[in-house]
Structure formats: C-alpha cells, structure tokens
Amino acid sequence: MFTKLLIANRGEIACRIINTARAMGVRTVALYSDADANARHVAMADESFHIGGSAPADSYLKGDLIIDIAKKSGAEAIHPGYGFLSENADFARSCEQNGIAFVGPGSDAIDSMGSKSAAKIIMGAANVPLVPGYHGDDQTDETLLTEAENVGYPMLIKAAYGGGGKGMRIVESQAEVQDAINSARREAASSFGNDKLLMERYLRQPRHVEVQVFADTFGNTIYLSDRDCSIQRRHQKVVEEAPAPGLSDALRQQMGEAAVAAAKAIDYVGAGTVEFLLDTDDSFYFMEMNTRLQVEHPVTEMVTGQDLVKWQLMVASGSELPLKQDEVSVHGHSFEVRIYAEDPRNEFLPAAGKLNFLREPDQNRHVRIDSGIRENDVISNFYDPMISKLIVWDESRSRALQRLTHALSSYQISGLKHNIEFLANIAEHKAFAEADFCTDFIERYSSSLIGDVTNDFDNAIALAGLYQVLARQEAAKVNATNSDDPYSPWGQVSGFRLNSASIHHVSLLTEHANTHAGNNNSASDSDESALQNLVITDLGDALHLGLNGQALKLAGSIQDDVLLAEINGHKSKVPVSHEGDDFTLFLPSGSYHFKAVLDQEAEDTSDSADKLNAPMNGTVVTHLVEVGDTVTEGQGLLVMEAMKMEYTIEAPFDGVVSEFYFQSGELVTDGAQLLNVEALNVEAADKED
C-alpha cells in the first residue's frame, strides 16, 4: 500500500478521499488554488501545495505541475477524484511514464471511453445494446444535418467527450438542428476542450440506471449493485438511489453482466460506472461509461457495506478485489441528494457567495454527509456550486425516504440561495414515493416542485414580526444597560403611547409576495420581492397582530439562535440565522428569508431592464445581435457562461440595441449591465403605419 497519496482535486471529493486514506494510514497531499487557500480539504490534508489561480485552467487542470508536485512531495500515487483530470488519458499516461500510480483505469481504457462515439463502436462489438444514432468522425455541418434526418426526432445532440449534461441539446425538429449544433459545440469546447458531437435517438420516458463495476489487474471484474439516477435537471443528476427500484432480479443480472462485458471489452481496471437508458418495456441501452468514481458512489457503499475509495487504493497498489461476484450482497435502500447553491425559482442559476449559516443534520449509521464546505466559506463562481451530498440509508425504500425527508427538514443554510426545499418537494412527491418517474420527472412536475410560495407563509410572516419585536427589545435592554441612565424611557422600544396601546411597526422585505397578504402587502403578487408592513400591538398580556383576517396572539423569547415562539397557544422552536438586517427562519416547511427595512422602504424589482444585467459572475461567450439591430421581446441577445453552463440573455421588450458593455471573453460580475436596449417608440410607429 502507498504511504503517501496526492489528491488532484478539491472540495467534497478531496475531503472524502482524505478520510479513507487517513483510516488506512496513508498520508495525504492536497492542492489548492487562490480561491481555495482556506478550504476545508486543505485543512484536512497532512500537507498542501499552492497550484495557481482560481480558474481551473490555471490550477486543477495543470497536469504537468501536479506531477511535479507529486514528485516533490514524495507521493507514490495520485487520486484524481471526479471532474478536472479524472478522465484525462494524457494525464493518466503522464503518471504512468513518471512512475506514479494513477488511482483509476489505464490511459488506454480512458481513451477508449473518452469519446462517446468510439465507445459506442466498442460496445456494439461487445454485444452491449445501443441506441440508434450517429457517432462518426465527420463533423461538418452538412453531415450532421443529414445524419440528423436519418436518426429522426426527437433527437439528442451531445458532446462526444463530455458529461454532466454539458454540451447536450434535445432537438424536436429539423428547424432546431443548426442552432443546437452551434450551441452544443461552444459549450463542449469550453467545458472539455473538444467540440466533437454525436447524435442519437431521444427516448421520451426512459429511466437512467447505472451499474457500478470494479476490476483488478488479476482479471477479476464484478458489479456492485445498480443505481437509479433518473431525477435530473439539465441532464445533471439531482437524486440518486440504490438499488434501482422496480427491477426484477433477472433484469438486474442482465444489466450487471452487460456492464461487466463493457468493462472487459476495454481491459478496465479500478472503479467505473456503466450507464444505461432503461425503456418502459425493460429494454436497456448503453449510454456511456464513466472511467472514474461517480459523485453518487456513496449510495452503493451504503447498501453494500463497502468503501469504494479503499477498493480503489487497494487495486491501484496491486491488490486483488476483496470480494468475488457471488460474495457481493445488497442490503436495504439508500438515497443521495445534492445540496446546491442555486436558485430553483430562477432556472437553477448558480448562487455564488458566502454561506453565513450552516446547520447540518446529525450524522449516524442512517445519515451521512459528504461535504467540503464549512460555515462562513465562500461558494466561488469558479467551480461547481455543490455544497454537500446528503446520503441516507434504511432497511426499505419507504423508510429510507422517510429518513431523507426528515434530514432535509433539519438542514439549515442561509446567506445564499439553495435547493433544499426543492429537494424536499421531490422526496415528498407522491409519484416519487411510488417510484413512478423517468428522466423528465422535474420538468413534468415543476409547478409542484418549485412552487412560488408555500402554505406556511403567513405563519412565517407572523414569526418574523415577533422575532423583530423581540430582537428590538433585546437590543434596547443592552443599550440601556450600557448607558448612563439604564432607566431612561429613550432606551426602550415598548412603543409606549399616552392613553393608548403600545404599537410596533415592522416592515419586512420578503423574497416572494404573499398571495393572501391583502392590505399588509405593498407589492403586487407577481413581484419577486414584496414589502410586508406589520402593525403589532402590545396590550400588556401579549403582542397582537392582525394578518389576513386572523387575530394572532404572539409571545416568546430569543435564546441564542432559536426563537421560542407562541402563536395562539401553539409553541414552537424556530432556528434563526441573523446577519445585519437580513435573517432567515427555518420552519419544517422550508426556510424563509427576510430583510428588516425602514418603514415604507421598498425595492423596485419590477424593472424589466434588470433582465439585461448579469444574473451571476461569469464570462461573455458571444453576442447574438449587433449594435443597431431591432429586437423583439424574448429574442436572444447575448450568451454568457458561468460554472460551465451557458445562459442566454433575452430582450425584455421590443427595442433597438444601442450598446454592448462587454465583449466576448470578458469577465462580468453579478448584476453588471451587459448591454443597453432602447425601447421602441410605439406611438410613433403607430402614426407611421
């Protein structure tokens, strides 16, 4: 076994590998970019080396420098994790040439599967079922347009050297093909450095089922359970589970044996995943093979009781697999969800920023959290915005699902947008509970998964008002204690009025309009944010609030980060995070974010021109129109890229493009105006007609 291991990655997977290496007595070497100087994986490793600038091309993708650091540190092996250089055959080959063990398959195997089109040819020869399509080397527009007609519609265009949904487009008709090719090429080149594309028939309602395979250098190849990864958005996995629900024993064996045949066809060594599309008639088709450890590997670990990173290190150091195929057992059921810094209500745009408050569920044999993030860490726009992976296990699928919903309800984050409520809505959805899903599950049920306002909004407003009054009272007590006259009435916020009840005015800016707010809400229901003006009366016995026809009696106190609240006799403990004027309440139904503002202060969020601003930090890819062009509402104007995803900025109204403020390749910050569009003079146009 190695004595020292270099981890050529960052974040959650680097921490995950360090944990296993430490348990095996292997010392670890971490790498860090400028953005990761204070990252968790750096603190966990035995030693670490600065690798370069924040952008991956300036740091984690510098293969030659990584090998130099491995030699300098005395590391005998390099674990690439996933992403970055994990499926880079040239990097694996450089490790081999420099006498450093690459914890993964050989470079030839990576080459074989690196091209999705070449992989299809190899799999066809090995009698692994394939979806009809075009995987050829001729990449001219003319050939691709012709082959698109042969494949038929709907059709999937995707990067031949890609993954994670990047460089992938669904095409419904011939009219869409050219634009899809152009866009997929750009994203493929940006994400993978290769713009080669392939085409295949798009199955309408498939499930995404994959099989974990493992092979050693002694000719042993086995499969360890299967996983269902059908719950996806933009072709990126959101929820994974093992084993895949609803498969017969015979079908599991067929898919497992097909996966082993795929691995043997390329003399595979180490951990790999063979991904299949499973159709409604139980026919399955090879999609791709990932020549690395998968993000979702923990669910396989939970149901098999094995540590796959330990297996990787054993195989890479020359040991045999610890189990034969007939010794593999699967027990119970496991789910994994990916906690992301993103905004589900705004097309899942990544949300870079500081994670001000973090409270994770308690970990035990049923609940596991793989994370590279700590409270007060910054989610950078340079990398994938995943905060953590939440993994649960129990004896059955229904019990594991119950574990998942409970764990999500106690996962608390504030400071940036996240997808916890969205994940909870998936877990609680009737169709998901019944395992009635396919890869378009999120699109099919989006209205119920991403709802605008939850049913607990009124309760959250009342609790927020109570919290503000109590916080003011606590602050007044502190001020009075520290003043020259602790009994001065000017150091109180009792709302005292002569011959009248004490009144507190509380103005709260919320993320979403309350659809039942009535006169309390000064913003329209369609606004993305709304001002709630509350009048809370102190009658001595308690605080009183009228809200949407309800008479609410409020009482409570604040203890540390918890609001001990009582509303009309119902007592509850509500965790709260507070930073400046912003605070978040964590209720069982989800998290609710507020900003305390001065009376009558409001923010105008309805200005449609804001849609011409950058939705996040990123890079301008290309202009779709020219200065002076007349554009119509909804027309694409500019393409920008952030976190390896493309976003199109569309015209918010009919107008004329007067100026671009950024050119292709330039970096932009969140909120920066990208271009200017002057609205058309509708009245003048009418007169001319």
List residues with catalytic annotation: 292
Whole-angstrom distance, CA of residue 560 vs CA of residue 570: 21
Q: How far is CA 190 from the centre of its chain?
A: 20
What amino acid is encoded at 614 in this protein? A
Helices (H) and strands (E) in the chain, counts: 18, 38
Token pair of 238 as six digits: 């959101």
| Residues 401 and 434: beta-carbon distance below 8 Å | no
For residue 586, give Cα distances in angstroms to 510, 518, 597: 14, 24, 20
Closest to 547 in 3D by CA, of 612, 433, 478, 460: 460
Q: Shortest CA distance to 333 belongs to which of 279, 278, 394?
A: 394
Give how far Cα 683 sits from Cα of 634, 655, 678, Å: 21, 13, 15
CB 668 within 8 A of CB 617: yes
Cα-based angle 368, 372, 378 (whole degrees, multiple of 5): 135
377 vs 160: CA distance, rounded Å: 35
Alpha-carbon distance of 147 to 474, in angstroms, equals 71
What is the rounded CA–CA span in Å between residue 208 and residue 223? 17
Match 């970055």 to its residue by tokens: 84
**Among residues 71, 96, 76, which one has the least CA distance to residue 4?**
76
SS (H, E, C) 575-601: EEEEECCEEEEEECCEEEEEEEECCCC
Distances (CA, A) of 489 to 341, 497, 498, 500, 557: 45, 12, 13, 16, 21
Residue 7: beta bridge partners?
A: 79
Range list of H helices, 367-488: 397-409, 420-427, 430-433, 441-444, 446-449, 457-482
Is 228 within 8 Å of 336 (Cβ atoms)?
no
Tokens of 255: 């898919």
CB within 8 A of 498, min separation 6: which ones?
none
